[in-house]
Structure 1
């Protein structure tokens, strides 16, 4: 009975939330490819959520096979003329097509249409994130705190920089600060970087230079975050709490702002890894996503949808990496074709796909290794 209970807890606590989040993100990514392909007159052979053996599916009126497959770790849209799910062209099949069939093949479309179809997947991920955030903001609004300092920790960066209780932060490096969260977002990515603060103190405005300290924080689930800290707390006074509400237009604008922020933070972290400024152990794979999904699911459906939005942004950015086999690699090929006036040779493209597969496999192994190491530390 204990084994059955543990399996049930694993299924409900981790696997179901993970599949919920991943399926939403994958479906909309592939739907972006699918809709633009249909708009461009490309015949679509299959639309699959998951890989491997089909569990169930159906054919639509235009001959596309919609299916749910056994391995739920991604998905694909297979166009007419494709050899596989990575959209590598099946040249023998295309050569054997009639003129009418070739007109609907992906490989026969103009380069701008092929680029539009490929770019539509990541773009759909960003749109999904904006829609999720906008829906949450419109339905629930946000409670924010004025950027007023309540306390200053002894020995902190704030104390060293001259911040005092009841200071009101006006700007950081010339960027206006409207809420305490605005301050946190800048500080968290600025460890060991001097920041110029404009502070309202009483009836005067003073300028301070504060350098956030690099710290590791562990949340209640055992996840470690590395970020910059000032060492100040926000004001809990009712007059410093602001309930923000959003109409449809404002919600979309705020959702767009949130999406851009998360994308920028992700790219900054990846650049930090490449430059040696950040540790690569925060890169995670399916195991970490499943773990975080289960943790977030305990807090309710809204945090889980927010996680789906964040994951959608990450997958959109990942697919735009210029690696053959990913969408970004295809876009590099199409850019070269547009510049040269003809496609790259079949040999060059084949070599690129093989290199791309190798890079993707290495990234998967590395991310899974990080996941395992993370679990052993819990």
Structure 2
């Protein structure tokens, strides 16, 4: 694929992934809105001028737009895709139509519709990871320490060859690969470790140091390391296939791990401990998508699952314009018994829009630099 044009190498895989994720997210909003009797004017993949579309028998316009970097569901009576009610129009509907307006539904119904988008992303991720785990299993390596590098965080903490990892940072360890991925996502952050040594249980704590490594695609990553290795023999790596019930628990653990590490990284950004070079925007995501696409369809599907979960998480942040911002307004309404004034909501949306735009510009510049 290296000889193909840039848009084939990177843009097309990225847009395919993004389109699927956006469709899943907006379909969550749409389905729960329909179940609650809300009239929908438009279901759009992308923004801007319409490229193609059709209108269903319920009057919903299904459209694909020219700018494929998101999407929206526009409810009847809203002035825009951000679900801001249009005060000049809402009062003019007849009683039958007024009962189908999003703004006239109970606060709990509106909250359910808002949560449905991120929830759909989480469900989508769960189904992909669960099916892949059942269908392909996972390769695993016995979680026993082989060597400990001198003057490493592991040596300073007292880890010894032959120690068997039981938990790391609170996560159950099934294989040495679990240790590697947990440690790699915790640079410069204190980590608790429980090992078995000679039949006894030992509790240790250590702080992984940061190591810069280069991927096969030339991308630099800054990962945590503690200085332990595992000798791998010919028959040491085994394929483990969980049963359908066990796979459910393992998939939930995987989802929680991704959520936990995402929130931890975002927390490090706000505390000034994270390396902002590791923050990717649309260009960086396109590059990663193109690189992963060279590894095959399964790798691309796995990336789609991870991005879907992260988009679901980010959408729940209490920022006006995002789903979490809507939830914040509706929680206020549920507690106080009345909604925030239209003026306050509009100011909030403007602030949220400015924050989102600032973040997009920052990540874009970060990608290009």
The two structures have a TM-score, normalised by structure 1, of: 0.91
Residue of structure 2 equivalent to 1:274 = 270
Instruction: Look up the SS of the partner of 1:149 in the other structure.
Output: coil
Q: Which runs of 5+ in 1 are unaligned?
A: 374-378
Instruction: Look up the SS of the partner of 1:57 in the other structure.
Output: strand
**Residue 11 of structure 1: CA displacement?**
2.4
Using the alignment, how far apart are the partners of 1:247 and 1:129 within structure 2?
Answer: 19
Q: Deviations over 1:176-219 (max 9, x none)?
A: 43311232243234434555544444566555554422222222
Contact 2:32 2:113 in 1 (8 A): yes
Q: Report which stretch shifted further, 278-287 or 353-362.
A: 278-287
Using the alignment, how far apart are the partners of 1:215 and 1:87 within structure 2?
Answer: 45
Q: Deviations over 1:240-286 (max 9, x none)?
A: 43322134333333222211111110010001110112123322211
Using the alignment, how far apart are the partners of 1:13 and 1:91 within structure 2?
Answer: 47
Residue of structure 2 equivalent to 1:315 = 311
Q: Structure 1 pair 180/352, CA: closer, same or farther in 2 (3 Å)?
A: same
Q: Structure 1 pair 207/59, CA: closer, same or farther in 2 (3 Å)?
A: closer
**Residue 111 of structure 1: CA displacement?**
0.7
Report whether the alignment pairs 1:302 with 2:298.
yes
Aligned CA RMSD, in angstroms, stands at 2.2
**Residue 7 of structure 1: CA displacement?**
9.4
The two structures have a TM-score, normalised by structure 2, of: 0.93
Using the alignment, how far apart are the partners of 1:241 and 1:198 within structure 2?
Answer: 23
Contact 2:2 2:9 in 1 (8 A): no
Residue of structure 2 equivalent to 1:376 = none
Q: Structure 1 pair 219/111, CA: closer, same or farther in 2 (3 Å)?
A: same
Residue of structure 2 equivalent to 1:84 = 80
Contact 2:138 2:239 in 1 (8 A): yes
Using the alignment, how far apart are the partners of 1:208 and 1:121 within structure 2?
Answer: 41
The partner residue of 1:250 within 232, 236, 246 is 246
**Residue 13 of structure 1: CA displacement?**
1.0
Residue of structure 1 equivalent to 2:229 = 233
Counterparts of 1:175-186 in structure 2, within 5 Å, are 176-186=172-182
Using the alignment, how far apart are the partners of 2:329 and 2:192 within structure 1?
Answer: 44
Contact 2:281 2:367 in 1 (8 A): yes
The partner residue of 2:42 within 39, 46, 50 is 46
The partner residue of 2:99 within 100, 103, 111 is 103
The partner residue of 2:159 within 147, 159, 163 is 163
Instruction: Look up the SS of the partner of 1:321 in the other structure.
Output: coil
Report whether the alignment pairs 1:326 with 2:326.
no
Q: Deviations over 1:295-316 (max 9, x none)?
A: 1111111111111111111111
Report whether the alignment pairs 1:34 with 2:23.
no
The partner residue of 1:213 within 209, 213, 216 is 209
**Residue 140 of structure 1: CA displacement?**
0.5
**Residue 339 of structure 1: CA displacement?**
1.1
Q: Report which stretch shifted further, 202-211 or 323-332.
A: 202-211
Using the alignment, how far apart are the partners of 2:43 and 2:341 within structure 1?
Answer: 29
**Residue 163 of structure 1: CA displacement?**
3.2
Contact 1:149 1:233 in 2 (8 A): yes
Q: Report which stretch shifted further, 290-299 or 92-101.
A: 92-101
Contact 1:169 1:200 in 2 (8 A): yes
Q: Structure 1 pair 161/125, CA: closer, same or farther in 2 (3 Å)?
A: same
Using the alignment, how far apart are the partners of 1:348 and 1:335 within structure 2?
Answer: 15
Residue of structure 1 equivalent to 2:258 = 262
Contact 1:145 1:235 in 2 (8 A): no
Contact 1:59 1:66 in 2 (8 A): yes
Using the alignment, how far apart are the partners of 1:79 and 1:7 within structure 2?
Answer: 45
**Residue 338 of structure 1: CA displacement?**
0.9
Using the alignment, how far apart are the partners of 2:21 and 2:82 within structure 1?
Answer: 18
**Residue 355 of structure 1: CA displacement?**
1.1
Q: Report which stretch shifted further, 92-101 or 191-200.
A: 191-200
Residue of structure 1 equivalent to 2:67 = 71
The partner residue of 1:142 within 126, 138, 147 is 138
Q: Report which stretch shifted further, 103-112 or 52-61.
A: 52-61
Q: Report which stretch shifted further, 316-325 or 229-238.
A: 229-238
